[in-house]
Amino acid sequence: MLTLTCEDFLARISEFIDGDLDGAWRQAVSDHARDCPHCAVILDTTQRTIRLAGEAQLFALPPEVAERLHARLAAVLAPAAVEASAELAPASLMAPPPPPRPRGWLEGWNWPLAWAVLGAVLIIFGGVSWWQQARIRTLQGWLIDAHCAARYIAAGDMPVSHPRWCLLQPACVASGYGVMTAQGRFWPFNRVGSIRALLMLRASNRQQNFRITVRGEERGPILYVRSLRWAKAKGLISVRLRAPAPSPRLRQAVYMTATAP
Amino acid sequence: MSRESAVPVGAPAGDDGDNALVAAIRAGERGRFQELVARHQRAVYRTALAILRSPEDAEDVTQETFLRALEHLDQFRGEARFSTWLTQICVNTSRMALRKRHPELWTSLDEPVTTDDGALPREAVEWREDPEQAYSRQEQEELLLNALAGLHPSYREVVVLRDIRQLSTEETAQALGLTVANVKTRLLRARLQLRDRLAARLHAAAAARDLASSAPASPKDDRPC
Ligand SMILES: [Zn+2]
């Protein structure tokens, strides 16, 4: 009798689903799925993935797309178009060869103007990208929902000991998430950022001190999150700021005194 | 599972009259090309959309595919089914459209990126809800298109032809110019990766739904946690 490892099982899952396996292998694969809950889930969800992909109603051709397709083909297929090109052919053979089209187009080209336009476009593009870059921020602080952040700001406190269960309260989840920096400023995330924060929270088993490093684009009061991860350093030391701070140690000391219970 | 065809390669029988239609068009009844198009337009659009994700690109590629088919109709030899030949044109046209959009992704079409993470699913997340029941057609489409877009194009093509178009393994191999063994290897990885990505997206979609459906903060909730 064949006994499969999970890896063997996965290597044959696709053929198993297609019914391409013969007796012994087929039996071994279904035995493994019966005995291994992990692989049973993979098998079930893979089968459901394939079923979803094959759903005939998906990716239907919209009627207006079909209409445009047939209209375009009709224009190509029309006998008039064929005749017209047939008539043109002999005439063009008699006439001297016309200049190639791209050249005629370039002759009317105003080169100084073209360079000026190109220059302007480059300057505008550079300006826009510089401006965007200037608005990219990397922030460190605590992950907190907007609902509770307001209270910490009012109290002049930091959400260091804000508990996990509160972060996952419906009202807190619904208010969206953001980062509260050591300076006591709260940056709310955009919606996608909030969802990422929620997923990250769920996947983690931390209970408090949800220190994060977040990179995002500042748009008005909102931070459009580009990357989000748990801060590496443990504890309260090493709050890194974007602008070099005059005396981080002093600030830490003040800050820790301020937040001591 | 129903497949579009179980006809072995090289047996143009069961072409549902495609070959006769092609012969008529070649003999001068050009207007009948529209009939041929009407038979295959849904399959071509489906393929292009699943590979390209964007409906606008899919429309362009669909038109381009049929224009090329018309132009090269005399090169169709009838060795493969007409639908397979058309699929081949559609895949090539889609590749060109993808290359134009994302040249950086296309260092090589035939070599999937070596750092492929999809051989073994990292976690077996059970789906909390069946997408076919919990989501509208449009949402299912979006989930699937987004998950597909994350696959390497060479994996995407295989899974699009085999599982979305439901071509046989042989037809898939023929349309992509691969061996059957090659199709099977890619299909295994493609399906597992697709499952992985769909699981992640269902997970995120459920979280987003929680976020949306959670009660908005009311004054009553305004107590310290
Ligand atoms: Zn297992």
Residue A214 has pLDDT above 80, yes or no: yes
Q: What is the pLDDT of residues A80-100, one digit of tens each?
A: 554 444 444 333 333 343 444
Q: Could you read off the pLDDT of B182-193 as tens digits, one per residue?
A: 999 999 999 999
B195 vs A contacts (CB less than 8 Å): 42, 45-46, 49
Domain boundaries, chain A: 1-55, 134-259
Angle at B160 between CA B156 and CA B165, to 5 degrees: 175
Q: Which of B47, B71, B102 is the last residue of a domain?
A: B102
CB A73 within 8 A of CB B66: yes
Given B102, B131, B149, the domain boundary residue is: B102
In a domain, B22, yes or no: yes
Pick the residue with more confidence: B88 or A201? B88
Q: What pLDDT does residue A207 have?
A: 80
Which backbone phi and psi does B165 adopt, to 5 degrees?
-80, -20
Say whether both B14 and B73 belong to one domain. yes
CA distance A13 to A46: 9
B165: region left, alpha or beta (phi > 0 left; psi from -120 to 50 alpha): alpha
Distance from CA of B34 to the nearest CA of A (A): 7
Smallest CA–CA separation between B25 and chain A, in Å?
11
Specify the pLDDT at position B43: 97
Picking from B46, B52, B63, B160 by the largest number of A CB atoms within 10 A of its own CB, the best residue to mutate is B63
B194 falls within a domain: yes
Assess whether B145 and B87 both reside in one domain. Answer: no
Tell whether B145 and B178 lie within a shared domain: yes
Q: How far apart are the CA of B59 and the nearest CA of chain A, in angstroms?
A: 7
**H or E element that contains A215:** strand A211-219
Contact B76, B85 (CB under 8 A): yes
B216 and B137 part of one domain = yes
- Chain A residues with CB under 8 Å of B218 CB are 171
Residues B215 and B128 in one domain: yes
CB within 8 Å: B45 and A169 = no
| Band (A118; pLDDT cuts 50, 70, 90) | confident
**Is B115 a domain residue?**
no
Structure tokens at B204: 């995120």
Query: How many other C-beta atoms can be found within 10 angstroms of the C-beta atom of residue B51?
Result: 26
Are B160 and B86 contained in the same domain?
Answer: no
B80 lies in the same domain as B173: no
Phi/psi for A139 (5° steps) reads: -120, 145
Long-range contacts of B9-15 (CB under 8 A, 24+ apart): B9/B80, B9/B170, B9/B171, B9/B174, B10/B79, B10/B80, B12/B78, B12/B79, B12/B80, B12/B81, B14/B81, B15/B81, B15/B82, B15/B83
CB–CB contact A14 B188 (8 Å)? yes
Query: Considering its fold, how many domains does chain B have in total?
Result: 2
The stretch A28-51 carries a mean pLDDT of 94
Q: Is the pLDDT score of B122 beyond 70?
A: no
Domain range for B58 is 9-102
Q: Is residue B107 part of a domain?
A: no
Query: Which of the four pLDDT bands, split at 50, 70 and 90, describes residue B160?
Result: very high
CA–CA separation, A127 and B223 (whole Å): 47
pLDDT, chain A, mean: 77
Q: Which residue of A has its CA nearest to B50?
A: A59
Cβ distance of B34 and A7 shorter than 8 Å: no
Residue list, CB under 5 A from ion ligand 1: A 6, 36, 39
Helices B180-213, A37-53: crossing angle, 10 deg rounding: 90
What are the tens digits of pLDDT across the range A157-184? 778 878 887 888 877 888 888 998 877 7
**Is B183 within a domain?**
yes
CATH number for the domain harbouring residue B97? 1.10.1740.10
B contacts of A52 (beta carbons < 8 Å): 131-132, 140, 144, 198
Would B82 be classed as within a structural domain? yes
Distance CA A35, CA A26 (A): 15
What is the reported pTM? 0.60
Q: Where are the alpha helices (DSSP H) in A95-246?
A: 101-107, 111-134, 146-155, 164-167, 170-175, 191-203
Instruction: Name the one residue in this structure whose structure tokens are 């692989």.
Output: A39
Q: Do B225 and B149 lie in a common domain?
A: yes
Question: pLDDT at position B218, please?
Answer: 52
Inter-chain touch B67–A73, beta carbons under 8 Å: yes
Name residues 101-120 of chain B within 8 A of A (Cβ).
119-120
Looking at the structure, tell me whether residues B141 and B68 fall in a common domain. Answer: no
Q: How much is the pLDDT for A3?
A: 87
Token pair, residue A151, equals: 């209270």
Contact check, Cβ <8 Å, A45/B120? no
Q: Which residue has the higher pLDDT, B101 or A18?
A: A18
In the reported structure, the alpha carbon of residue A49 is separated from the centroid of ligand 1 by a whole-number distance in angstroms of 19
Task: Clarify whether residues B131 and B192 are in a common domain.
Answer: yes
Q: How far is B148 from chain A (nearest CA, A)?
A: 10
- CB proximity B32 to A under 8 Å: no
Query: Using CA atoms, how far apart are residues A6 and A18, in angstroms rounded to an integer?
Result: 19
Q: Do A54 and B164 touch (CB under 8 A)?
A: yes
pLDDT for A86: 44
Element spanning B208, H or E: helix B180-213
Task: Report the candidate in B39, B70, B74, B21 with the shortest Cα–Cα distance to residue A78.
Answer: B70
Residue from the list B59, B127, B130 with its beta carbon closest to the beta carbon of A65: B59
- Average pLDDT of every residue of chain B: 82
Instruction: Number of A to B CB contacts under 8 A, please give it.
Output: 168
Helix (H) or strand (E) holding B18: helix B18-26
ipTM of the complex as predicted = 0.82
Are the beta carbons of B211 and A173 separated by less than 8 Å? Answer: yes
- A161: Cβ contacts below 8 Å, ≥ 6 apart: A208, A209
Say which CATH number the domain at B195 has.
1.10.10.10
Q: Which residue, among B32, B34, B61, B66, has the nearest Cα to B48 in the 3D structure?
A: B61
Query: What's the gap in Å between A40 CA and the centre of ligand 1?
Result: 7
Is B124 in contact with A172 (Cβ distance < 8 A)?
Answer: no
Residue A23 in contact with residue A31, Cβ under 8 Å?
A: no
Q: In Å, how far is A193's CA from the nearest CA of chain B? A: 11
